[in-house]
């Protein structure tokens, strides 16, 4: 369990920031990180830049340099609202593309252009055109974890935080939902009466969890409350006490304050939420997302110093993709 009052040794730089991450970072490593953090904070001020960080970013990013943190939906909403000149996305490429779609005249940077996503890789624009041809007139609901080219072929986007609402908002008996098969199956269970045509894309992090994993966590940690992400297979979601987006999990912990909780998702989630709720014991059956972990403090610093890597999208394609994202944001 995380202790409530972290010990901060004397003479460490940026002691207030260190106190937030002292449970994860040994004091001897801090001065090196603090150098990058100080530089990033100054660069943000000098260039009117903002850092959007996903819940899967490491604590030293999430709790020190990020201006806005959250799930994919919150980051999209905040990207639409910011008045910064430069947006740095500490997350994966599709998140940076979404920010660019909503801010065509701003500079959007991703600190490592190789930070991809197995879901985004699982489908192309041509695949969507073929699906449409096979199911004429059936609307296409596309998870934001996709390229701008795939979004451009879609009617509306969704995230794991609003999939049910987006589908219900269409008022039709059949939808195509891409590309996450498990999210589609888990959402289908919440919208009886609506047929959902799926695609066989998977998140390489969440597809690894099994119902047995959850049963063994319950055996080893009596009383544990298990939260799963809807990108996990339906049998995993069925074993969990709650399934929701990463923000849904954070809210659940904040509202219910379980004594012991397992966030069956990416590893940094527990690290980040534990800082906020030191009285909660976090059990960690987690997997790392290799794409999210491409983003580091030195790369964020370099992104701001060298304006790299700038996200660009063909304007005609962006125009069509933006419609699908804006339709999603209009669903409340």
Among 185, 305, 285, 199, residue whose Cα is nearest residue 235: 185
Measured at the CA of 57, the angle between CA 204 and CA 260, to 5 degrees, comes to 85
One of 55, 145, 147, 160 touching ligand SF4 (CB under 6 A): 145
One of 145, 162, 186, 268 touching ligand 13P (CB under 6 A): 145
122 counts as binding ligand 13P under rule CB under 6 A: no
Query: Where in the chain does DSSP place strands (E)?
Result: 49-54, 68-70, 86-90, 107-109, 140-143, 156-158, 174-178, 195-197, 225-228, 242-243, 260-264, 281-283
What does 291 interact with, of ligand 13P, ligand SF4, none (CB < 5 to 8 A by kind)? Answer: ligand SF4
Site for ligand 13P in 216-245 (CB under 6 A): 231, 245
Backbone angles phi, psi at 296, to 5 degrees: -135, 165
**CA 72, 190, 129, 317 torsion-angle sign:** negative
92 counts as binding ligand SF4 under rule CB under 6 A: yes
291 counts as binding ligand SF4 under rule CB under 6 A: yes
- State the greatest distance between any 2 C-alpha atoms of the chain, in Å, as a whole number: 67
Task: Check: CB of residue 64 under 8 Å from CB of residue 81.
Answer: no
Q: Is the peptide bond before 179 cis (omega within 30 degrees of 0)?
A: yes
The residue among 30 and 94 lying less far from ligand SF4, judged by its C-beta, is: 94
Residue 122 marked as a ligand binder:
no
One of 160, 187, 270, 296 touching ligand 13P (CB under 6 A): 160
Task: Check: CB of residue 89 under 8 Å from CB of residue 271.
Answer: no
Among 245, 291, 249, 242, residue whose Cα is nearest residue 270: 249
The residue among 165 and 293 lying less far from ligand SF4, judged by its C-beta, is: 293
Token pair belonging to 37: 């953090």
What does 269 interact with, of ligand 13P, ligand SF4, none (CB < 5 to 8 A by kind)? Answer: none
What does 296 interact with, of ligand 13P, ligand SF4, none (CB < 5 to 8 A by kind)? Answer: none
Residue 143 marked as a ligand binder:
yes
204 counts as binding ligand SF4 under rule CB under 6 A: yes
CA distance 214 to 123: 30
**282 strand-pairing partners:** 261
The residue among 22 and 186 lying less far from ligand 13P, judged by its C-beta, is: 186
289 counts as binding ligand SF4 under rule CB under 6 A: yes
272 counts as binding ligand 13P under rule CB under 6 A: no
Q: Please, what is the minimum distance in Å from the beta carbon of residue 161 to ligand 13P?
A: 6
Residue 289 marked as a ligand binder:
yes
- State the DSSP string of 280-312: SEEE---B--TTGGG--HHHHHHHHHHT-SBP-
159 counts as binding ligand 13P under rule CB under 6 A: yes
Site for ligand SF4 in 31-70 (CB under 6 A): none
Residue 324, phi-psi category: left (phi > 0), alpha (psi -120 to 50), beta (remainder): alpha
153 counts as binding ligand 13P under rule CB under 6 A: no
Q: Tell me which residue has tokens 């700038």.
A: 310
Q: Please, what is the minimum distance in Å from the beta carbon of residue 68 to ligand 13P?
A: 13
CA distance 28 to 9: 10
Residue 6 marked as a ligand binder:
no
Interacting residues toward ligand SF4 by CB under 6 A: 92, 117-119, 145, 203-205, 231, 266, 289, 291-292
Instruction: State the binding site for [4Fe-4S] cluster.
Output: 117, 203, 289
Interacting residues toward ligand 13P by CB under 6 A: 55, 71-73, 145, 159-161, 203, 231, 245-246
């Amino acid at each position: 369990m995380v202790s409530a009052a972290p010990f901060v040794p004397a003479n460490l730089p940026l002691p207030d920031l260190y106190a937030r991450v002292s449970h994860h970072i040994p004091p001897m490593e801090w001065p090196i990180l603090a150098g990058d953090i100080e530089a990033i904070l100054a660069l943000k001020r000098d260039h009117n830049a903002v850092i959007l960080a996903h819940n899967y970013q490491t604590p030293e990013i999430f709790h020190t340099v990020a201006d806005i943190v959250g799930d994919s939906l919150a980051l999209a909403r905040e990207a639409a609202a910011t008045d910064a000149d430069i947006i740095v996305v500490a997350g994966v490429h599709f998140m940076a593309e979404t920010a660019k779609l909503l801010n065509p005249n701003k500079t959007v940077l991703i600190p490592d252009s190789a930070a991809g996503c197995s879901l985004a890789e699982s489908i192309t624009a041509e695949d969507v055109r073929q699906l449409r041809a096979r199911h004429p007139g059936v609307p296409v609901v596309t998870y934001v974890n996709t390229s701008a080219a795939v979004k451009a072929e879609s009617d509306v986007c969704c995230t794991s935080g609003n999939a049910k609402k987006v589908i219900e908002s269409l008022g039709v008996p059949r939808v195509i939902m891409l590309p996450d098969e498990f999210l589609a199956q888990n959402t289908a269970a919440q919208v009886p009466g609506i047929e959902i045509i799926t695609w066989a894309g998977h998140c390489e992090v969440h597809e690894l969890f099994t119902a047995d994993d959850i049963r063994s966590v319950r055996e080893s940690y009596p009383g544990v409350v298990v939260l799963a992400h809807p990108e996990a297979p339906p049998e995993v979601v069925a074993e969990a006490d709650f399934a929701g987006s990463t923000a849904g999990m954070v809210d659940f912990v904040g509202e219910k304050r379980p004594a012991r909780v397992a966030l069956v998702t990416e590893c940094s989630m527990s690290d980040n939420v534990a800082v906020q709720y030191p009285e909660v014991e976090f059990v960690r059956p987690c997997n790392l997302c290799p794409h999210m972990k491409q983003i580091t403090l030195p790369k964020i610093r370099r992104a701001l110093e060298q304006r790299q890597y700038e996200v660009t999208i063909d304007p005609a394609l962006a125009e069509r993709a933006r419609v699908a994202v804006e339709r999603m944001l209009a669903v409340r």
